[in-house]
Structure 1
Amino acid sequence: MWADMAADTRIRRTGLLERYHATRNFLGLDSCVAASAKYSTEDRRPLTKDILFPALRQVIKTHPPLCVGLANESSSTAAFTRLHTIDLSRIVQFRDNDSLRDALESQLAEGFDTDADLPLWRIQVLGDNTVIFAIYHIIGDGLSTIAFHASLLRALRDVPAGDASPLVQTPNTILLSPPIEDVTSVRPSLSTIFDEVYRLFAPKYLSSDRKAWSGNPVPMGVNGSLRTNVRLMSFPAHEVTAFCTMCQTHRTTVTAAFYVLTVATLSRMLAGDPRYDAISSTVAISLRGAAGIPKDAICDYVSAHRTYPPADPRFSWPAAAHHAAKLRTQKSKARENIGMLRFLLGQYVPFFRSHLGRKRASGFVLSNLGRFDASAVEGTWNIVNTVFAQCDVVVGAAFKMNVVCDPTGALNIALTWGEHSIESDFVESFLSRFQDAFRGLLV
């Protein structure tokens, strides 16, 4: 394959985590990570091609990952390649509808065709100036979606409108961030290796997750399973400020408090069910700090911390403080999860297929992108709402709680789940109970 490829198109091979995400894509197990931002001006200017395309050209030239494709996706020789030209008319859609939920569900149901000579991202613009940015996880994590919108906002403010040409010439030299294992140690400790071996081979009656709730089992096949359901929930700025103050008072974080609140809410819903005495739980952890990568970069530097907290219907601030301290220590240890991928010896496909028909590893995943800082500026473009969502609904957690605080101070949550992972009425009940529990803490 490389003999047929122009010498200046190949950039580098994929790393451990990147191959993990590539395998999920070509097997049809995952689609994308997406984030929406609603752009506005005081005169309610529409976001048309002659405004958006010049700004996008600037953003593309700022972020090298937006200029690449992927060759040999399903092979051990998979590598990033430079796209000499990007045709925005093929990856930017303008739609009149304003249903953010429907649009997110549509984006999360669509993976990436790496044979199509297209970049590994796309955009949908809704009638109310909401821009949905969907990115292949191999080049970007959740924070990358916010980095994109921050760059687009700067470009909209700085780049004159007028040139609606869809063709973008990429820079002659494309430098990607190295794979995570090249910039920080991901070598697993002996205890991590032992824990994983024990989890795989211990008798079922001794396993940590034996009686931990994790939703429905993974389906036996993947055909048609990528459909992702989305429900949106938002808390206004004054409630978020009050909650953050309470978190600071109790020496915890919003992420840790939401984790404990989610476990408590699920515990109340599962009370009386003898099958469960714990909740299988996961919290996403950014590795940018460990790798020395800034927040405004587009890259794939993320891991996770999994736990099996006992089912407890009571919310506890001390428990939230304890988990916040635990997450701080995991910022370093979570790197070892990526190092464990070496033990697959390149057998990613059998690894994922081995999950089919089995118990899910997690009941929920909590991903909190934090506050999107973008100061409002009079007389120009501003962002008034942001939402973050992701797929991975086939073999992933029963549901995902995706959290981001937008520039107005409001906190927005997108719950995502698959049609086989959990029942819709369960999610609706969870949302209502979680919202009541959150506001109950503010009283």
Structure 2
Amino acid sequence: MEAVPASDLVPLRPLGNLEKYSTTRSHLGIYLNVGLTARYKRPSGAPVKPALFRALSILISKHPILSAIPAAIETPNPYWVRLPQITLCEVVKFDEDNAYSRGSSAREYLDDVIEEQHNRPFERSLSQILPFWRICVVERSELPIDFDLVFIFHHSLMDTKSAMSFHEELERYMAEDDGSDLVIDVVETPPMPLLPSLEELYTLAVSEEFAGSQEMPSMPVPDSWTAAPQTVPVKTCFSSLWLSTAQSRKLKNMSRKEKTSVTAALQTLIAASLFSVLPLRYHTLQTECAVSLRRFLQDPVTGTSLGCYVGTLSIPYSRIPSFTWSEARRTKEIIEQVIAKKGGDMPVGYLQHVPNMHQWMLRKLGHTRASGFELSNVGRVSDPQGGYRFEIQGMLFSQSSSACSAAIKVSAVTGRDGRSVLGFTWQEGIVESDMIEQIKEALQAQVEGLTMER
């Protein structure tokens, strides 16, 4: 698509505070994007492109956020504009996995593809204006019965619950393909209004005490591990950890039996794994946990709407020698206590008190981080409706690292194959790759130990 002056693009509505936050940090190079990758089963040898492009054209016609990009992002008052059309061959790329010929595994190759995608920002250029999402299809000639679809999106457009809905709709519309070779490339975008922002839909109450705690960069206690101070530039490193179907199922069942949740269990397992590789001088660990705020929203937002409706909460840990279910139950209690406030006193609510998002973000640079790691668990993809020609199997959730938040980000999702997958991202020069491998090994060992219990 040729470049169009911003003044010629159809204005939609102002960005909400959460959308503005995501746009500002990407504009400053602090945090770039999110990804949700799905492995699709397909009829052996069936071409992906015609079915995929047809399904995308339907999705674009239904969801106006897919044709929206932020404008005036360098100002305090950015707003959404609508692209008049989207050329799919410019946002969908096909990649042939030649990992086997190089001696590396398909999983390592996919990790490399995802890492490269998380280091590519969404930018407007003089030559073209593209949507703030893109797709990379990874095919393997050795395994023609499946392919990986890497969906990368700007966080101001949507959250990961939205991305899961995106994949499920894509699966459904690809199943309706008639098998023809006709490829729909240029898609006219719908003249539809965007869904309201989080702040338009719901009041995020903030107490004076909480607002005061957010005004200045927080200083963690000296014995808390937070890695190196917040700094740019950011180069994202990525690595995945795949639990087996049996381990994932046993962890879910044990969490229910122990009166906790999978999210709380994972949060505690990661904390224990991190403590196991940290020097003994670190006795505390402040962590973050992402939560969906959709439960508090009403029409027109539903569970499958595409938009950004998330918040975070903080969970402290003291050094523990290994995972315990009592710590997992404590973690669940903290999550429930915060959710009971219905979005009150969350960092996302404080954004309404930030007069200049750019200055506020830049002031964070050079200061100590507030937390060591963050967990985002989007849950499990819904059960299949049955009989689809293209069917989702495994799934992998990932995101870019950030200069101004937790040193390690862990993104969790469970696919239809029953496998829980953890995507680890960290900033080069802030956390060492060897440390991540040690954490993954410790986490894998703890899960194996738990799931072998009778």
Match of 1:218 among 230, 237, 245: 230
Partner of 1:88: 88
Partner of 2:130: 118
CA contact (8 A) 2:276 2:321 kept: yes
TM-score normalised by structure 1 residue count: 0.91
Partner of 2:274: 266
Query: CA 1:260–1:378 in 2, change beyond 3 Å: closer, same or farther?
Result: same
Partner of 2:30: 29
Query: CA 1:243–1:10 in 2, change beyond 3 Å: closer, same or farther?
Result: same
Amino acid of the residue matched to residue 248 of structure 2?
V
Stretch deviating more after TM superposition (100-109 or 52-61): 52-61
Q: Deviations over 1:331-385 (max 9, x none)?
A: 324564222112221x212222222222112211100010111327346211121
> What SS does the aligned partner of 1:5 have?
helix
Q: Deviations over 1:407-432 (max 9, x none)?
A: 11111111111102201111000000
Match of 2:148 among 116, 127, 130: 130
> What SS does the aligned partner of 1:23 have?
helix
Partner of 2:159: 141
Amino acid of the residue matched to residue 7 of structure 2?
M
Match of 1:151 among 169, 189, 192: 169
Q: Quick one: percent identity of the two aligned structures?
A: 26
Partner of 1:301: 309
Partner of 1:164: 183
Distance in 1 (alpha carbons) for counterparts of 2:405 and 2:377:
17
Q: How far off is 1:319 after superposition?
A: 2.0
Q: Deviations over 1:161-204 (max 9, x none)?
A: 433131001112x222211111111120233224335x658xxx
Query: CA 1:133–1:11 in 2, change beyond 3 Å: closer, same or farther?
Result: same
TM-score normalised by structure 2 residue count: 0.89
Partner of 2:7: 5
Distance in 2 (alpha carbons) for counterparts of 1:91 and 1:407:
26
Stretch deviating more after TM superposition (426-435 or 233-242): 233-242
Partner of 1:60: 60
Q: Does 1:248 align with 2:266?
A: no
Partner of 1:204: none
Q: Which runs of 5+ in 1 are unaligned?
A: 202-206
Amino acid of the residue matched to residue 190 of structure 1?
E
Amino acid of the residue matched to residue 350 of structure 2?
M
Partner of 2:297: 291
> What SS does the aligned partner of 2:35 have?
strand
Match of 1:107 among 91, 94, 117: 117
Query: CA 1:196–1:71 in 2, change beyond 3 Å: closer, same or farther?
Result: closer
Q: Which runs of 5+ in 2 are unaligned?
A: 98-105, 141-146
Distance in 2 (alpha carbons) for counterparts of 1:307 and 1:195:
16
Match of 1:282 among 280, 283, 288: 288
CA contact (8 A) 2:61 2:189 kept: yes
Match of 2:359 among 322, 326, 350: 350
- Aligned residues between the structures: 425
Distance in 2 (alpha carbons) for counterparts of 1:303 and 1:149:
22
CA contact (8 A) 1:150 1:374 kept: no
CA contact (8 A) 2:401 2:425 kept: no
Query: CA 1:393–1:196 in 2, change beyond 3 Å: closer, same or farther?
Result: closer
Q: Deviations over 1:242-286 (max 9, x none)?
A: 1111111111100001111111112222252x2x22012000011
CA contact (8 A) 2:210 2:345 kept: no
Partner of 2:440: 431
CA contact (8 A) 2:217 2:367 kept: no
CA contact (8 A) 1:144 1:297 kept: yes
> What SS does the aligned partner of 2:317 have?
coil
Partner of 1:17: 18
Q: Does 1:322 align with 2:334?
A: no
Query: CA 1:229–1:47 in 2, change beyond 3 Å: closer, same or farther?
Result: farther
Distance in 1 (alpha carbons) for counterparts of 2:174 and 2:184:
16
Q: Deviations over 1:77-133 (max 9, x none)?
A: 311111121101111111112521111001100111135422111111111421111
Segments of 4+ moved more than 6 angstroms:
none
Q: How far off is 1:307 after superposition?
A: 2.6
